[in-house]
Structure 1
Amino acid sequence: MELFFLAVLIVIMASALASGYPVAFALPGSAIISILLAAGAGYLVTGNVDAYFHSGGPSQWLTAGVTNLRGVYWEVERDTLIAIPLFIFMGIMLQRSKIAEDLLVTMAQLFGSVPGGLGISVVFVGALLAATTGIVGATVVAMGLISLPAMLRNNYSQSLATGTIAASGTLGQIIPPSIVLIILADQLASASDQASTARKALYKDATGELSMPSVFDVASTSAGEMFLGAFVPGILLVLIYMVYILIFAILRPKSAPAVPYTGARDAAFWGNVVLTLVPPLALIFLVLGSIIAGIATVNQAGAIGAAGALIMAGYRITEQNKTTYYPAILAIFSLGLIGFALSNYDMNVKAVLLNEGGDSTGLTIGIIAVVLLLISLVWSAVRVLKIENTLHEVMIETAKTTSLVFIILLGAAMLTAAFRAFGGEELVRDFLNSLPGGFWTQFLIVMLVIFVLGFFLDFIEIAVVVVPIVAPILLADPQANITAVWLGVMIGLNIQTSFLTPPFGFALFYLRGVAPAIVKTVQIYKGVIAFIALQILALGIVAYYPQLVNYLPNRMSFLSEKSPPPRNPRLQQCLEEYVRQEVANDRDAITEAIARAQALDLAILPKSQSSGLSSAFASADKAIGLLDEITATEAAVVEATDVYRPALAQVRKLQKGMRELEDEIARLEKSGRYMSGENVQARRDKIKARVEVLKDKRDQIAAQVPDSWKATHETFSALTRAELQARNSYRRAADDAVEPVSEMLAVLADNTGFFELEAQLTGLRGVIADGQPAGAEEALDQVGKAFGQLAGANTVSSALSKARRAMRGSSPDRAKAMAEYDKAVATYQDQKTWRASADSRLKPGLEAYLAALSETIGARQQTRLSRSQALYLAGCNSVHRDLSLNF
């Protein structure tokens, strides 16, 4: 019956959407109606309202809306959604300020002389508007009103002209900042958590281990990563459009002729070009650049964009006079002043207020600059409000659009909950997992479903209804081991086609509404076919080269101030590849540096220190050899993979079927134990018979497991254990090769402070012998703490601490305190001797040793990755690695 009510849910939702009922109410309404119907049917037929639910009951699933309301509006982890109204305000304000019109005219003048120049200009402007407004309807309408008549006047093919405008207007869905990417990031963050749980369960079932190594876990994503990941694919799609138009114009020049600019390209012309291009490009740089550089979060970048759009509107829609640009000039001046203050002064407000440092001059400059910036914003806002009440209308439109998005988010959450309540998610999972061909078959089916849904649904419905269902299944698959950001960008590229595909392609409706009567609807439909094909081509390229998506987020992460440390478990395999490559290129120099270090005279050091350094140099030699062992064991695993993989796939499929039968057996046995009412025994006997049938099926499946599987598995496991042991041995040796040397250099770096404490240490003798116990205790405490802060001086500090304790209490033991003090002095003198010698005779050699190993064997001991390491790891981690052999 669960399947029946699942079908009822889908039919109600589809009927509501097909009838034109608002999506914001169709999604939660269909969920509520189907849940109430299932609960009522269960109560009437069985007396149990939970009877026809796959899991839980109606009360649990009806509260999903309340739970998700709290999640959307109050959970700190989902604060990315705050950026949605900011970017919507930015887009609507720029659309009202006629930026599109200025850009289109200027770009047509610049590129008109190129074959297909008008079409290329439309694509270029579409990309710029996508990076500023991101509003499909506004972009398509603006370009349709301005460019389409010009293209038709110059004998452009109707299908090419309309297709170019419609496709270029949809670029805002994939080029950041994009509302679609923000919504996808939010949905994928939740999906990643579910996928992580599923993968851990899969690992436990496959290996019997209770915990899964973190390197096998599913990584989540954020709106910032989605923006970075979509940047290169978005540019790729723009270039594909431009190349297509150029080739079309060359092959069919009469259908896309060049339109040379007839005016003079004088100073006034170029001044207008600069004034038209620089502001939107500057806004793009501020919004996207601040995210890419790690200066601002997505929310902060949204605020920057909203403020920039308000200032641009303030001078664009107002009457042109000598004061037109004053607010913009004031804003630029204030931003420059803020940059100057941040670059030249310590702007720690708390430190200044508490007199703990900081610079009051810089803080004053910063306050003045902020006040000036606020004045420019208020000035611009007043202008925009006075002119045709624009600001009020933009705010109302922003509120409407934002409310629509959030209501759809909440409604979709309820729909998804109802879908899961009737077992829909497990049904989808079982269907996808049953498909031959593994992950890529599943992925192609999902992408095809999303593509087809794009014919009928808007991007928001697809993002919030389909993604929560299919994304956890795809992300959990260890075979492809895809990243969430890559999946999000692929879905974003696919969703983009929903604006172009008939019969409900919204971009087609927008363009039809502003196109002249001479342009037939069939020409618009014909025109977008080529661009849909180009989008599918872009999808194929990004699917084949995941580095196009993954590289930029990795690069920004590894080069940022908050980059993961080199010892991060997820980085080790790629870091070892980098080390092997560097050692292979520079092995002689590294070996020579180790030999020079081994030749150092360590006799001047105490035995413990000298033996530690000797072991470190030996570990460096050992680590180089272990790199070769890693290479050999890795090659052995790869060689055995071809034989092992088919056997693993066969057995895991059989074991999966056995687990499903065992789960069903457990469910039936549990239901039989808790039965009540009439004919209980007859029903129990029926369940018992069913259980016996299922056990027979389970035993039949178990018999299909090849007899050779155990030996095959143990042989391959031995190879993987050997590789893991080689890697762990290398990591220990690499750490041992560096840690003692770093500790010794830290000791020598504190020599100055160590020697300066000699006078204070010597002066303690008289205090202990003749001073007041309380005063002696305090003096010993101060000097002991001073030694405790120095590397390698713990023995001196420990002896002074014992002397201090001897002086404590009502009956201090001066003799014991003096004995401990004498030990501290003797220890100090010993250290003083070897520290001074080591500083001049060993320190340069040890520093040269570390410098020679820092990029290779010593990489794990660095506080952060070097630039060359970060760039290599960014590329290495951009590839999807198959983890299925570990499951």
Structure 2
Amino acid sequence: MEAWWALLLFLTVTGTLMAGFPVAFTLGGVSLWFALIGFLTGWFDADFIAALPNRLNGILNNATLMAVPVFVFMGVVLEKAKLAESLLQNMAALLGGKKGGLGFALLIVGMLLAASTGIVGATVVTLGLLAMPVMQKQGYDPALSAGTICASGTLGQIIPPSIVLVLLGDVLSNAYQQAQLQLQIFNPKTVSVQDLFMGALVPGFLLVLLYALYLLWVRIRRPEAMPEIKVDNKPSLSAILQSLLPPLFLILAVLGSIISGIATPTEAASVGSMGALLLAAINRMLSIDMVREALKETVKVTAMVFMILIGAALFSLVFKGFHGDEAVQHFLTHLPGGKAMALLLVMLVLFLLGFILDFIEITFVVIPIVGPILLMMGFDPVWLGIMIAINLQTSFLTPPFGFALFYLRGVSDVRTRDLYRGVMPFIGLQLLMLLLLYCYPELVDLI
């Protein structure tokens, strides 16, 4: 009977979120009401609520989560330093004279911004503001333009340094420890953010390659959809290097220090923030007002993430109090197809939830429930984390609630029909990447 309470709790939370109520307060408020009703009816043990202070103390003292505000600050500073403008202008001028050149330039810039900022919203908005008017003026297919901008902007979900991977690293580390306790395996090894960053590099760049192959196919099949643009002046070598070297320097400073083991992700984020401030100073964009605005944006995003995390902790406790985790474990472990069917079902649920929920809610609400179960089945935690990260990336693209769609719709006059039609092929390519990772799991161990 308790399992039905857990299912009703999950459906109520999902329905309330779809109605547009704030995520953090929905998670906490609905969970408290269910805990109260369950306690009064004798179906819920109040000791689960008593464990909340320890959970919150663990959240606030978590060293891994310290990387979140620092990476956010780095991304906001780079956005305000106008790093993307000169990069996109020079790449467009370099490649735009060829058919489809602007589309490939967008993809390259999106990849570089993803590897230097990790902030999806800022990347989509920047690319939308800079590239969409030019593509519309030069006769690019509206759907293809919108899809390329959204897909390029969301590469920050999977290419390190990614906020998604930082949050997943913390959640999966806890899930891995729970799985070990359940199996009575006392292994001190944990899932680190560094492991996820290294594991995501090859799949992330393979996804870029798939995007590029799709654009090449469109260029061959429908050349009129990607015409060449008029370029008045070819950029000089010094101008190209001047726009390319700053993001490459930042990527080397952040990812190089993590992969080499010199710095932890939190320390590398601090290095990246200092590098971002230095680049802003070089571009003559550094000022007290700019830093103040960047700090305000960082506080807003960080407060949102941690409030959702606190609400998700309360939801998790109440869900377990109703024995929902045991019901999910029993269901997944007794599927006819074994662990392969369990993984397929979880990935399908995550994909469908991406239509209505943001990646942060999915990470904090769903992964703590299904993560320990999948890890107990023997799946590699790093490989599973990359699979989940690519799946969550679709939550930014899937209509009707994909955040990248909202970002681009807010800064351009693209029609909703063209927007939805444009992102569909890229969603298909992400699903293809998931299939490749399932068939060749060694892709996450190449670095």
Shorter-chain TM range is over 0.9
Q: Distance in 1 between matches of 2:270 and 2:220?
A: 44
Residue identity matched to 1:68: R
Q: In the alignment, which residue of structure 2 is the partner of 1:535?
A: 430
The equivalent position to 2:254 in structure 1, one of 277, 287, 302, is 287
Q: Normalised by the size of structure 1, how large is the TM-score?
A: 0.49
Aligned to 1:458: 358
Measured after TM superposition, the shift of residue 8 of structure 1 is 3.9
The 2-side partners of 1:30 and 1:264 are apart by 59
Contact 1:196 1:218 in 2 (8 A): no
Q: Is the 8 A contact 1:64 1:413 kept in 2?
A: no
Q: How many residues align?
A: 447
In 2 relative to 1, CA 8–445 (structure 1 residues): closer, same or farther, beyond 3 Å? closer
What is residue 225 of structure 1 aligned with on the other side? 195
Q: How far apart are residue 545 of structure 1 and its match?
A: 1.1
Pairs within 5 Å for 1:781-820: none
Equivalent residue number for residue 19 of structure 1: 19
Alignment-mate amino acid for residue 252 of structure 2 = F
Counting only pairs closer than 5 Å after superposition, residues 827-866 of structure 1 correspond to structure 2 as: none
Which residue of structure 2 lines up, in the alignment, with residue 258 of structure 1? 228
RMSD: 1.5
Deviation by residue 1:165-213 (Cα, 9 ceiling, x = unmatched)? 011111111010011101000001111011112233xxxxxxxxxxx6x
2:240 is aligned, of 262, 270, 273, to 273
Aligned letter for 2:140?
Y
Q: Does 1:189 align with 2:173?
A: yes
Partner Cα separation in structure 1 for residue 337 and residue 130 of structure 2? 49
Partner of 1:735: none
C-alpha distance in structure 2 between counterparts of 1:114 and 1:289, whole Å:
34
Instruction: Please name the residue that 2:114 is paired with.
Output: 130
How far does residue 219 in structure 1 lie from its aligned partner after superposition?
5.0
Query: Partners of 1:442 and 1:253 in 2: how far apart?
Result: 43
User: 1: CA distance between counterparts of 2:409 and 2:130?
Assistant: 14
Question: C-alpha offsets along residues 546-567 of structure 1, whole Å, 9 cap, x if unaligned?
Answer: 1111232xxxxxxxxxxxxxxx
Aligned counterpart for 2:325 among listed residues 403, 419, 425: 425
Q: Distance in 1 between matches of 2:380 and 2:230?
A: 47
Residue 436 of structure 1: how far off its partner (Å): 1.0
Matched with 2:339 is: 439
After the TM superposition, which residues 473-872 of structure 1 pair with which residues of structure 2 at under 5 Å, given as runs? 473-477=373-377, 481-516=378-413, 519-552=414-447
* Aligned counterpart, 1:315: 282
State whether structure 2 residue 273 is matched by structure 1 residue 306: yes
Return the letter of the residue paired with 2:247. Answer: P
SS in 2 for 1:261: coil
Given that residues 192 and 218 in structure 1 are in contact (C-alpha distance below 8 angstroms), is that contact kept between their aligned partners in structure 2?
A: no
Whether 1:69 aligns to 2:39 is: no
Give 1:37 deviation, angstroms: 0.9
Give 1:89's match in structure 2, choosing from 60, 67, 73: 73
Equivalent-residue separation in structure 1 for 2:445 and 2:327 (angstroms): 31
Q: Determine helix, strand or coil for the equivalent of 1:504.
A: coil
Quote the residue 2:125 is aligned against. 141
Deviation of the 1:414 alpha carbon: 1.2
- Contact 2:125–2:411 under 8 Å retained in 1: yes
- The 5 A counterparts of 1:323-334 are none
- The equivalent residue for 1:408 is 308
Question: What CA distance in whole angstroms lies between the structure 2 residues aligned with 1:550 and 1:36?
Answer: 47
CA distance in structure 2 between the partners assigned to 1:114 and 1:474 by the alignment:
48
1:392 matched residue in structure 2? 292
Question: How many percent identity over aligned positions?
Answer: 47
Distance 2:234 2:345 in 1: 55
Matched AA of 1:274: L
Q: 1:32, CA displacement in angstroms? A: 1.1
Query: How far 1:280 moved relative to its partner?
Result: 1.0
Which one-letter code corresponds to 1:529 in the other structure? M
Amino acid at match of 2:360: I
Q: Which residue is equivalent to 1:159?
A: 143
Question: Which sections of structure 2, spanning at least 5 residues, go unmatched?
Answer: none
Q: Is the 8 A contact 2:7 2:324 kept in 1?
A: no
Cross-structure match for 1:80: 64
Q: 1:249 and 2:146 equivalent?
A: no
Q: In the TM superposition, what whole-angstrom CA distance separates every residue of 1:142-182 from its partner, at most 9, and x where no partner exists?
A: 11111111112221111110000011111111010011101
Q: How does 1:198-213 map to 2 (within 5 A)?
A: 198-200=182-184
SS in 2 for 1:295: coil
Structure of greater relative contact order (alpha carbons < 8 Å, 6+ residues apart): 2
Shift of 1:393: 1.0
- Aligned 8 A contact 1:174 1:181 in 2: yes
Q: 2:329–2:373: 8 Å Cα contact kept in structure 1? A: yes
Q: Distance in 1 between matches of 2:117 and 2:52?
A: 31
CA distance in 2, matches of 1:292, 1:542: 21
Letter in 1 for 2:174: S
Q: What amino acid is aligned across from residue 6 of structure 1 in structure 2? A: A
**SS, match of residue 224 in structure 2:** coil
Which amino acid is 1:487 matched to? L
Deviations 1:646-678 (A, max 9, x none): xxxxxxxxxxxxxxxxxxxxxxxxxxxxxxxxx
Note if contact 1:65-1:411 (Cα within 8 Å) is conserved in structure 2: no
Change (3 A) 1:264 1:136: closer
The alignment partner of 1:131 has SS state of helix
TM (norm. structure 2) is 0.97
Q: CA deviation at 1:260?
A: 5.8
Residues 11 and 474 of structure 1: is their aligned pair in 2 closer, same or farther, counting only changes over 3 Å? closer
Give how far 1:403 is off.
1.1
Distance change in 2, residues 1:548/1:463 (3 Å): same
Deviation at 1:220, TM superposition (A): 2.7
Deviations 1:822-871 (A, max 9, x none): xxxxxxxxxxxxxxxxxxxxxxxxxxxxxxxxxxxxxxxxxxxxxxxxxx
Residue 36 (structure 1) aligns with = 36
Q: CA deviation at 1:514?
A: 1.2
Can you list the C-alpha shifts for 1:750-788, whole angstroms capped at 9, x where unaligned?
A: xxxxxxxxxxxxxxxxxxxxxxxxxxxxxxxxxxxxxxx
Residues of 2 paired with 1:465 and 1:187: CA distance? 10
CA displacement 1:203-260 (0-9 Å, x = unmatched): xxxxxxxxx6x8xx69531011111011111111111111110111111111112336
Question: How much has 1:520 moved relative to structure 2?
Answer: 1.3
Paired residue for 2:105?
121
Alpha carbons of 1:218 and 1:442: their partners in 2 closer, same or farther (altered >3 Å)? farther
Show the counterpart of 2:91: 107
| Contact 1:64/1:414 (8 A) holds in 2 | no
Contact 2:94 2:234 in 1 (8 A): no
Shift of residue 14, structure 1, vs aligned partner: 2.4
Distance in 2 of aligned mates of 1:27 and 1:9: 10
Q: Could you tell me whether the CA contact under 8 Å between 2:28 and 2:311 is conserved in 1?
A: yes
1:192 and 1:472 in contact (8 A); partners too: yes
Give 1:19 deviation, angstroms: 2.3
Contact 1:229 1:550 in 2 (8 A): yes
Residue 5 of structure 1 deviates from its aligned partner by 2.6
